[in-house]
Amino acid sequence: MSNSPDADNSALEIWGQHSLSGNVTISGAKNSALVVMAGVLLCSQPCRLRNVPNLVDVERMGAVLKALGVKVKRDQDFLELDPSDISHTRAPYDIVSKLRASFFVIGPLLARMGVARIPLPGGCAIGARPVELHVRGLQAMGADVQIEHGTVHACIPGIRGRLKGAKIYLDYPSVGATETLMMAATLADGETVIDNAAQEPEVADLANFCRAMGARIRGVGTKTLTISGVPSLHSTDYAIVPDRIEAGTFLIAGAITHSEISLSPVVPEHLGAVIAKLREAGSDVVSESHNRIKLIPGDEILPTNIQTLPYPGFPTDMQAQFMALMTLSSGNSMVTETVFENRLRHVAEFGRMGANIRVTGNCAVIQGVPMLSGAPVMATDLRASAALVLAGLGAQGKTIMSGIHHLDRGYEQLERKLTQIGAHITRLEGADAQAAVEIDGAAATVQQRQV
């Protein structure tokens, strides 16, 4: 693992207002890698994945697959997965409870083995996150699905039965439900149509991976996916797409520090909404080649409203980072979160740095301030942790961010990549981290009392 083994006892020390410059290498997409790893279960031959980011979440998905009997071998950004001998059909609770995406093994496991027992993932910091769309879709394909004692028990009735193709309409274009049902349908008997499917690039990446294994899927990247089931899938070698959320996070790092930075490899079309909103906020993003873009910062950060939506709308996974930028804008902005019900917890932490934000329901009204000041802050979830790093880069003085186990779940060496382009960030471990949090926390309390 590239990041700290004990991130619970670590903290990041960030010195703000340093200019950045240079090129950042963007890793493979976390959300693609996780679901493509689950998708390997559909095949009974070894598969090789390339451009797999080295992340705690990826390690956890590897552990779930190992528990099912998959042989997992990692070599730099390659992952060799051999699912020839699946020995178990029950995923371990202790890992599923830490990694919601591991629930997504239910579709491929059921389709290939005829049975799957997966603990309910439960809620998480950003909301309740139910799975009824996954369950209803599998039932429509003929699976018998019961939820008992917190575990989803799914099986295909009959001996050596196959799921059956079905017409499925999703009430909401859920990314996970689309992925679960698309994977299940690849091995079903007959044709499955998923209407109101999620169009996220990671869903398309999974579809392309399944096609590389011989699956027959039409409508990739659209709202209607048509999957003609095949009896079996074969081995493949597949490269994960670049992470659009990591790329978006770095674009904001450039905008908030008024720095010109380049990013590659990226798929610029995957960043459409983020680039449009960055332009509204006064920066520009230009193409340097087919897979390389450059952020050109504006003199002023302009107030900009965003509303999170399913793709191609503005991604909920970029909401906190964009809000960090808006805290320093020259006016009032509104951020409306429509995808998850509890995803504004970072607001209180921005407040500690001097941001002026008022929350009503799922809306945050941000009155831009001329300056943020470094402070001790606590990351509340994965994207909030990245947003606090960004705020720290734009703030005057020192920010100490704890809770960096969230960051390590989904960003491959964020602080190293930022340091390489000029940021002043250090990872403090153990006693050093503890001391920094305590000293800075005490200083902040004194300052607050004096105000």
Question: Which is nearest to 212 in space by CA: 233, 195, 193?
Answer: 233
Task: Please identify which residue in 46, 92, 127, 313 interacts with ligand UD1, judged by CB under 6 A.
Answer: 127
Task: Please identify which residue in 250, 314, 322, 340 interacts with ligand UD1, judged by CB under 6 A.
Answer: 340
Task: Supply φ then ψ for residue 32, to 5 degrees.
Answer: -75, -50
Q: For ligand UD1, which stretch binds (CB under 6 A), given 74-82, 174-182, 233-241, 268-276?
A: 174-182
Task: Please identify which residue in 66, 74, 117, 129 interacts with ligand UD1, judged by CB under 6 A.
Answer: 129
CB of 409 to ligand UD1, least distance (A): 10
Residues in contact with ligand UD1, counted by CB under 6 A, come to a total of 21
CB of 20 to ligand UD1, least distance (A): 26
Residue of 43, 47, 124, 155 marked active site: 124
- Between CA 105 and CA 30, with CA 238 as vertex, the angle to 5 degrees is 55
How buried is 254 (Cβ within 10 angstroms: 0-12 exposed, 13-18 middle, 19+ buried)? buried
Separation between Cα atoms, residue 77 and residue 86, nearest integer Å: 24
- C-alpha torsion angle, residues 104, 105, 109, 112 (rounded to 10): 70
Which tokens in the block code for residue 101?
């995406």
Q: Does 176 engage in binding with ligand UD1 (CB under 6 A)?
A: yes
- Which residue number places its CB atom closest to ligand UD1? 176
Considering the complex, state which of residue 98 and residue 162 has its C-beta at the smaller distance from ligand UD1.
98
Are 247 and 266 contacting, i.e. CB atoms less than 8 angstroms apart? yes
Name beta bridge partners: 292. 289
Considering the complex, state which of residue 296 and residue 363 has its C-beta at the smaller distance from ligand UD1.
363
CB of 58 to ligand UD1, least distance (A): 11
- The one-letter amino acid code at 416 reads R
Which tokens in the block code for residue 199?
């169009």
Residues 21-40 that bind ligand UD1 (CB under 6 A): 31, 34
Site string for ligand UD1, 289-328 (x = CB under 6 A): ---------------------------xx-----------
Are 21 and 260 contacting, i.e. CB atoms less than 8 angstroms apart? yes
Question: Which is nearest to 186 in space by CA: 111, 238, 240?
Answer: 111
CB of 381 to ligand UD1, least distance (A): 10
Question: How many helices and strands (H and E) does the chain possess?
Answer: 15, 23
The neighbour count for residue 334, using CB atoms within 10 Å, is: 14
Considering the complex, state which of residue 16 and residue 322 has its C-beta at the smaller distance from ligand UD1.
322
Q: Is 47 a catalytic residue?
A: no
- The one-letter amino acid code at 238 reads Y
Task: Please identify which residue in 174, 257, 262, 399 interacts with ligand UD1, judged by CB under 6 A.
Answer: 174
Q: Does 147 engage in binding with ligand UD1 (CB under 6 A)?
A: no
CB of 319 to ligand UD1, least distance (A): 9
Residues marked as catalytic: 124
- Per CB under 6 A, residues contacting ligand UD1 are 31, 34, 101, 127, 129-134, 172, 174-177, 198, 202, 316-317, 339-340
